[in-house]
Amino acid sequence: MTPQLIDPFARAITYLRVSVTDRCDFRCVYCMAENMTFLPKKELLTLEELDRMCSAFIGLGVEKLRITGGEPLVRKGIMTFFNSMTRHLESGTLKELTLTTNGSQLERFADDLYAAGVRRVNISLDTLDEDKFARVTRWGRLPQVLRGIDAAQRAGLRVKINAVALKGFNEDELFDLVRWCAGRDMDLTFIEVMPMGDLGNEDRVGQYWSLDDVRARLSEQYRLTDLAERSGGPARYVRLDETGQKIGFITPLSHNFCESCNRVRMTCTGELFMCLGQEDMADLRPALRNHPNDDAPLIEAIHGAIGRKPKGHDFDYSRQRADGQVSRHMSHTGG
């Protein structure tokens, strides 16, 4: 299918990340406040509305759909939505249906996700230390997540681990994480912490650990081969020659990746954010709800939003403060 969504900088938008809920069973310190006020359920798009919205994007050339949250698998009835998206995989219009999860619910849903056509999942896991895991997630339980990873691999899902690089927190686990993932045939991507949400007691500058440093440390023990491949996301990849595993680096601060951005993010209320690091958004919900039997206004609104996609974001820690910070929590747009 020829992409129909071209932004002002000639980038084809073929990747949609959709948050299906703002709720989560964890409270990760870089993602949301400990005492969150969640949206009233009536403001959330229904599962049927999510289907209609995603189908409109797929009809406009979106080929990859990533489901996020909050924690997407805590949304009641979420498998109904995944199963409804299967038809787009079967028709060939959608190339990939995937999700990012904290892993807590995979023990329940891994087999069903595979049956719906999901073939790989990203699991957020920053530490293998149970006490540190409880601290960074506030409410999390590491054994439950590890059982979820086991279930995902048994079901046939390809697992990639996403670890936020946090100075003074998981620096000492760098090689433990690499070896653990290698032993389980899982790829690993490191992510720089981003200045999002009400910082409160969380010092983003103090937490920031440049992935240049992560890469330099890895090169002390491994031979790194740069890979040209892209997975449709912002990561740059290397292969560790000794283990054969793929390591990704998502570097919004140290190496801006905006020039190849092919994605937009939609919240669970229908707000479309054209850039993770900008405040500008387009509210697509009125076009959806005010015209229940006509997709033309929704498609027009989508085109209008893509026409406002900026060239890039403004995240910057170089002046020892979180410049470019956006006010919404990471959980609002699903990462």
pLDDT, tens only, 160-180: 999 999 999 999 999 999 999
Torsion of the alpha carbons at 222, 227, 231 and 232, rounded to the nearest 10:
130
* Residues forming a β-bridge with 163: 190
Question: Is a pLDDT exceeding 70 seen at residue 254?
Answer: no
What's the rounded Cα separation, in Å, for the pair 234 and 296? 31
pLDDT of residue 1: 64
- Could you count the other beta carbons within 10 Å of the beta carbon of residue 286? 12
Rounded average pLDDT over 11-25: 94
Q: What CA–CA distance (Å, rounded) separates 250 from 142?
A: 24
Tell me if 257 sits within 8 A of 277, measured CB to CB. Answer: no
At 333 the pLDDT is: 54
Q: What is the dihedral of CA 59, 61, 63, 67, to 10 degrees?
A: -60
**Nearest one of 87, 11, 76, 9 to 54, comparing CA atoms:** 87
The predicted structure's pLDDT at residue 314: 57
Distances (CA, A) of 39 to 116, 135, 197, 274: 28, 25, 16, 21
Mean pLDDT across the chain: 88
How is residue 163 written in tokens?
């670890």
pLDDT for the residue 334: 57
Q: Is 65 or 35 the better-scoring residue by pLDDT?
A: 65
Condensed to tens digits (0 to 9), the pLDDT of residues 108-163 reads 999 999 999 999 999 999 999 999 999 999 988 999 999 999 999 999 999 999 99
- Each residue's pLDDT tens digit, 277-326: 677 899 999 999 999 999 999 999 999 999 999 887 654 434 344 444 44
Structural domains present in the chain: 15-333 (3.20.20.70)
Give 64-118 pLDDT, tens digit per residue: 999 999 999 999 999 999 999 999 999 999 999 999 999 999 999 999 999 999 9
Please give the backbone phi and psi of residue 320, each rounded to the nearest 5 degrees, phi first: 60, 30
pLDDT confidence of residue 233 = 60
Place of tokens 């690499």: 178
Q: Give, for 249, the enclosing helix (H) or strand (E).
A: strand 246-250
pLDDT, position 196: 42
Nearest-CA neighbor of 153 among 180, 116, 114, 126?
114
User: Which tokens in the block code for residue 47?
Assistant: 């599962």
pLDDT score recorded for residue 328: 43
> CA geometry: angle at 238 spanning 237 and 239, to 5°?
130
Mean pLDDT, residues 212-233: 88
- Residue identified by tokens 């993602």 is 31
pLDDT at residue 244 greater than cutoff 70: yes
Q: pLDDT class for 32, splitting at 50, 70, 90?
A: confident
Output DSSP code: residue 31: T
- Is the four-CA dihedral 115, 269, 324, 321 of positive or negative sign? negative
Going by the DSSP 8-state scheme, the letter that residue 255 receives in this structure is S
What's the CA gap between 266 and 54, in Å, rounded? 10
